[in-house]
Chains A and B, each alone.
Chain A
Amino acid sequence: MNKEAMFFRDEGEMGDVLGEAKRLLEETKALEGDIHSQRELVEEYREHIEDVRCRHAIKELIGEAVEDFKSIVDGMVSEWNTKKNQLEKREEEIAMHQRMILEAEKKIESRINEFEIEQRERANEELKSIAEITENVKEQLAEIEKTKKAIDNILTEDAEAIRDRVLSKEDVEFLRLNYFSLVQSRLASKGVVNPLTGEEYGRGDWKIEVEQGGIIARITRGIIREHISVGFDIKFIIPEDEEGFIYRKAGKEVFSVIIEFIQAGEGDKGDKNSFNALTLVSPTGWSEWIIEKVENIWSMNKSVYLVDLSKRKVFFNDGDKKTKMFVEWFVPVSMEEEIKNMVAKLEGEIEGGVLQFRADKVASKYQVPRKIVVGAFRAMVEEGKGEIISPEEGAKDVLFVVR
């Protein structure tokens, strides 16, 4: 029995399968193309949507940011305005301060000008005073120069001259004794006239007291009440150095003595006719200061004398007649005369056979200052009677050797 075909039933034609296949493939390709294009479109649209969303998000973000920024800017603006106002106020304050400072500066400038003027005036005054001081200094420098010259002179002097200026205690004692002897001999040899009353007194009227430091000579009158008519007060002043050397000139230390003498007996009616003389004797001389004082002392009934035994001079008020009249009582023997006397004594010894003399021994023997002896030696050398051997040549003291 024939079975009926299950698949190959021949119910129709296949048609052109290859053509159909080509068509289907083309359709498929076309569809794929469409799909592809659609996908592209979708992709584009998606991208577009993404883009829009992004833009929207960005806008929102920007919007927020803008809002934030606006609020920040607003804050900054308000802060700026506040700061600006503060700065304007500060500026006004500064301007005010500047005005105040300018005023203060003007005041200070005027004060400075005044101060400068004052300073200039002060400076001028100071310059004047400096000029005066300069003058004083110049004067003092001149004085110093003089002193320096004196010192130089002293330094240039030989050792013997320096030795002559420095007196030993023995020299001073010899000078005192010689001078006192001289004054005593004068008192013993002549009388005196009271310059105030004109009363005359003989040489025997003197009452003389000799002490270590001086001589007091008085002429008195009256029996019941004794008054001094003429009185000489002679004081020997020794200006001894702390080290014991005697070379300084006496000066201010005796001024109190002079004042005391001048003031003594003032107001006493009976003493108005009493003439008193104060004589101060210095073996080394007197300072210019005390000489000037003494030369200007004037008293009705008193006279003051300064005797310089080193230069054999007397200083007194030359303008006072009575003082001048009595100076002859106190004038010391001159150096030349004393040396002459010494030479005569030495010549006497030479005639007696003595051939050499030592200065210190001669001074001791004749109680004269050593420099008188040395002066006599020199005088004899000048006369050609001998020669001097100095201590530098080996002698113990200055020797005079007879030729």
Chain B
Amino acid sequence: MEKLKEKIIPGYDYRVKKNRLNSDRAMRDKLSRELKKSYNTLKEVSDLAYKDKRRDVVEHIKDVLNTLDLFRNEIENASYGLSPLFKQEEVSDDVLDRMVEFDKELLNELEVITKATDLVYDHVLKGETSDIILQIRKVKRSVDNLRNTFSDRADFLERKQIERV
């Protein structure tokens, strides 16, 4: 919990009802911002590939960028404020633990993606691009996994019955 707090924003805390919605919002903002960084980085790489007329690379990166866009839209527009988690006063510690695990998993994966996109850009600048499509696809795969995890989190939140204490 403390590490997550450091990674996200002050006030991250699901234990108190009034803070839960803000904590979720902070988490989604964090995801969106980090994904935007990766998007920008990959867009830069895409521009460089375009300049070098590597349409194949551009196409693959475009595929990732579209995924990132969609994912960011899902993150920012998701509305599950009616989730029992945000309505119920008292929620069991297992539910809260699960929420924290979701967020922790999302943040770890997000960091890897962000770092991987940075590495891609660095390698491009170095001219080490022979396996770039493969790596882009791996990044795309990683973003998909992240998106799935986020979907699982959303499913968990939207469950009609949240276990009470």
Q: Which residues of A contact B (CB under 8 A)?
A: 3, 5-18, 20-22, 24-25
Beta-carbon contacts under 8 Å, B110-159 to A: 111-116, 118-120, 123-132, 135, 138-139, 142
Residues of B within 8 A of A3 (CB): 53
* Of A8, A11, A14, the contact of B119 (CB 8 Å cutoff): A14
User: In the complex, A3→B50 CA distance in Å?
Assistant: 13
- Majority SS at the chain B contact face: helix
Residues of A within 8 A of B48 (CB): 6-8
B54 within 8 A of A: yes
CB distance from A24 to the nearest CB of B (A): 6
CB distance from B65 to the nearest CB of A (A): 17
Q: A7-B51, A18-B139 are in contact. List 9 more A-B contacts (CB 8 A).
A: A6-B51, A7-B48, A8-B54, A8-B129, A11-B128, A17-B116, A21-B111, A22-B112, A22-B115
Do A14 and B135 form a contact, CB below 8 Å, given A8-B57, A20-B116? yes
B2 within 8 A of A: no
CB distance from B58 to the nearest CB of A (A): 10
Residues of B within 8 A of A6 (CB): 48, 51-52
B49 within 8 A of A: yes
B49 touches A8 (CB 8 A): yes
Total of A-B residue pairs, C-beta within 8 Å: 86
Residues of B within 8 A of A9 (CB): 127, 129
Residues of A within 8 A of B51 (CB): 6-7
User: In the complex, A10→B132 CA distance in Å?
Assistant: 9
User: In the complex, A20→B135 CA distance in Å?
Assistant: 11
B112 touches A14 (CB 8 A): no
A8 touches B124 (CB 8 A): yes
A-B contacts, 27 of them at CB < 8 A, read A5-B52, A6-B51, A7-B124, A7-B129, A8-B49, A8-B57, A8-B124, A8-B132, A10-B127, A11-B126, A12-B126, A12-B130, A13-B130, A14-B135, A15-B131, A15-B135, A17-B135, A17-B139, A18-B142, A20-B116, A20-B119, A21-B111, A21-B112, A21-B116, A21-B118, A21-B119, A25-B111
User: In the complex, A6→B54 CA distance in Å?
Assistant: 11
Residues of B within 8 A of A5 (CB): 52-54
User: In the complex, A21→B111 CA distance in Å?
Assistant: 8
User: In the complex, A380→B48 CA distance in Å?
Assistant: 199
B129 touches A10 (CB 8 A): yes
B123 touches A14 (CB 8 A): yes
CB distance from A82 to the nearest CB of B (A): 69
